[in-house]
């Protein structure tokens, strides 16, 4: 019985890692140059402060991916900031934790949320960019 439980848990973990990776496929890694260009062009932007080990970030990923595929949100560019590797960027956004979502329209920050994993909440935040 113990072996079966370990096997099930290992398979669940592997699937969650695979699922999280594929859900973030439409999100681009944050660079200051890309962010500045999008701001200059007045584009709608989602900045996602993300950590691979974060269960909340993993829960947000498929929701964000699904919303960005909808025709209504196709103009939104999602930029992912690596919470562990891009500490200077995290600090510049005044983000104290991973799973922070920040939306911009050009140079103006229009809203942010921390730890929201509800489709309605994330959609409401994204709507602010349009």
- The pLDDT tens digits for 87-104 are 999 999 999 999 999 999
| 18 contact partners, CB below 8 Å, separation of at least 6 | none
- Going from N- to C-terminal start, the domains of the chain cover 2-127
Pairing status of strand 100-105 against strand 108-114? antiparallel
Residue with tokens 């681009």: 28
- The pLDDT tens digits for 26-40 are 689 999 999 999 999
Angle at 109 between CA 113 and CA 40, to 5 degrees: 140
Q: Taking the CB of residue 112, how many other CB atoms lie within 10 A of it?
A: 18
- The pLDDT tens digits for 54-96 are 999 999 999 999 999 999 999 999 999 999 999 999 999 999 9
CATH homologous superfamily, domain 2-127: Glutaredoxin (3.40.30.10)
Distance in angstroms between the alpha carbons of the first and the last residue of the chain: 53
pTM of the full structure:
0.79
Helix (H, G, I), strand (E, B) or coil at 119: helix
Q: Which two tokens stand for residue 122?
A: 């994330």
Quote the mean pLDDT of the chain. Answer: 85
- The number of CA neighbours under 13 Å toward the Cβ of 18 is 6
């Amino acid at each position: 019985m113990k072996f079966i439980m370990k096997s099930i848990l290992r398979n669940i973990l592997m699937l969650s890692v695979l699922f999280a990776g594929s859900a973030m496929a439409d999100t681009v890694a944050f660079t200051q140059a890309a962010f500045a260009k999008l701001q200059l062009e007045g584009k709608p932007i989602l900045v996602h402060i993300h950590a691979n080990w974060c269960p909340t970030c993993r829960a947000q990923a498929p929701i964000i991916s699904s919303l960005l595929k909808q025709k209504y949100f196709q103009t939104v560019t999602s930029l992912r900031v690596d919470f562990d590797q891009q500490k200077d960027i995290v600090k510049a956004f005044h983000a104290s934790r991973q799973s922070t979502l920040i939306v911009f329209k050009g140079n103006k920050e229009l809203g942010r949320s921390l730890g929201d994993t509800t489709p309605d909440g994330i959609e409401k935040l994204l709507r602010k960019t349009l």
